[in-house]
Structure 1
């Protein structure tokens, strides 16, 4: 059973606390998941982010540099101004994940699931102790939060970190270029999304994490590779489509509904008279599939096309 929901949440939500570092290498530049939607006088560039990356994923494609240069503003899921206070953002996430009703994590789990949790704790006891995350601490948390903690450990083991995420990189690039920045939603709104997951989905999410802890390195590597080569079809098939099939309610809450809220704002940026272009940086899955922003803008009548010099040269996977 693949950990579709846990990994999907990590890729769809701009949250994370891993601090892995690596020595920079020089592989080929990533092929961007980049589209351009235009009306008569201006354009929006849609850039698909991977919220956890490696130092070796930089520098980015010249296509991304050009889109940033042409844009007067850069829009993220959450405003960089709000994300500057990372302690406040982390605290808001933590507070949402703490149980306030006096119950324990085990109260949501079957005896078999409790045994899996105990086995995982025993396997990672030393590392967890350094972070103060023993059984007593985990018992005070909700299943979704524990599942994300486990997934973050997997990313950290793979040498990936939010520190190198595309959002962090583009925030700095926008600041260095003096671009105006905005957010499509707030930290509080993202926290409500997580809190709104059903207990059933949360528990299944946690059980999958426990079942496959330590064995998902290949899955993470495959998704990372698909992002690096700009393979939109594989990312949708191996993540978006599976999330939709296995967790339709969670897919609606964390992907489709958010896209539907964002689309009018993007359309307004295009419809406002003027020639100012905008670069929008969101999790890659928000751009893909039938509920994605690319198809949403096409349905509204805008001209939307992939921006991919490597695709034109036949050096990558097209959509």
Structure 2
């Protein structure tokens, strides 16, 4: 499974998935702690969509969660009801003037028509069509946003009366995609069309070689850097918008948080933890002590 399929595991606030950095401490999803003078922030890379019953919580994660008074997420997934998402999609994901089939070359229109009923998506912008196509195979195998780490912990944190904060809104995330240039959008869609027609090397379905299994095992050194390298090389403008600029903004917010005493826990798609533009590296570059604890 290529990077462009991974980013759409959930949609909108559940837009992003990824893998962590190298060197798993144990067979468990990656978790870091960033230490300030009198403060700590834990960084946890999530999978936004999981199969029901996936066992990913560990004593280390639960200890971090128990200590944290504030829990961060990318956006408020509980606010993503169908009506809200529908309104956002109508505003940012639909092109009322040009059909999708008019933007793609004939060979890709034909390939897309073999994968989906083109009439059902011809009104969508390329980014929205690409995301929908990317989500279908994974969700059809039983994975769901409801069972994902983000929504699971959002419900838990609110139930425990912890302070819940988000970096973005659902509309922010849709606006991010809508702000891409048409060539970047079309490249994203073209990659999805091509990858859907190719044999899958990595799937979300649990089992050897699956995306979920790699995340659960913390096997990040083998997969994470290659995914980031692929994205940066194949669609650098997409990488810049999707990851780098957002990570920099989030790192700035966390730097401000570390100025005050306390413990906080950040749960965001684990692709945001990868490489020199990932949150652990950015926080270390700001002079904080960063340690992978799981």
Shared fold by TM > 0.5?
A: yes
Secondary structure in 2 aligned to 1:48? Answer: strand
Which residue number in structure 2 is paired with residue 185 of structure 1? Answer: 168
CA distance in 2, matches of 1:142, 1:95: 11
Structure with more helix by fraction: 1
Do the aligned partners of residues 13 and 285 (structure 1) sit closer, same or farther apart at CA in structure 2, a change above 3 Å counting?
farther
Do the aligned partners of residues 143 and 52 (structure 1) sit closer, same or farther apart at CA in structure 2, a change above 3 Å counting?
same
Which residue number in structure 1 is paired with residue 39 of structure 2? Answer: 42
Question: How many residue pairs end up in the alignment?
Answer: 279
CA distance in 2, matches of 1:252, 1:299: 19
Equivalent of 1:106 in 88, 96, 101: 101
Q: Who wins on radius of gyration, i.e. which is larger?
A: 1
Superposed, 1:88-99 pairs within 5 Å as: 88-99=84-95
Segment drifting more, 248-257 vs 236-245 = 236-245
CA distance in 1, matches of 2:259, 2:199: 44
Superposed, 1:63-142 pairs within 5 Å as: 63-79=60-76, 83=79, 85=81, 87-100=83-96, 102-121=97-116, 134-142=117-125
TM-score by length of 2: 0.87
CA distance in 2, matches of 1:230, 1:271: 30
Gaps of 5+ in 1: 17-28, 122-133, 309-319
Cα RMSD of the aligned pairs, angstroms, is: 2.3
**2:259 counterpart of 1:271:** yes
CA distance in 2, matches of 1:108, 1:182: 39
CA distance in 2, matches of 1:245, 1:13: 24
Equivalent of 1:208 in 174, 185, 191: 191
Which residue number in structure 1 is paired with residue 21 of structure 2? Answer: none
Residue by residue over 1:4-42, the C-alpha shift from the partner in whole angstroms, topping out at 9 and shown as x without a partner, is: 2242344796337xxxxxxxxxxxx97121100011211
CA distance in 2, matches of 1:80, 1:206: 25
CA distance in 1, matches of 2:178, 2:30: 29
Which residue number in structure 1 is paired with residue 139 of structure 2? Answer: 156
Preserved CA contact (<8 Å) 2:39 2:263: yes
Preserved CA contact (<8 Å) 1:154 1:217: no
Residue by residue over 1:180-227, the C-alpha shift from the partner in whole angstroms, topping out at 9 and shown as x without a partner, is: 101111122111111122222322322232233265654234322221
Secondary structure in 1 aligned to 2:283? Answer: helix
Equivalent of 2:245 in 246, 257, 266: 257
Gaps of 5+ in 2: 16-25, 205-209
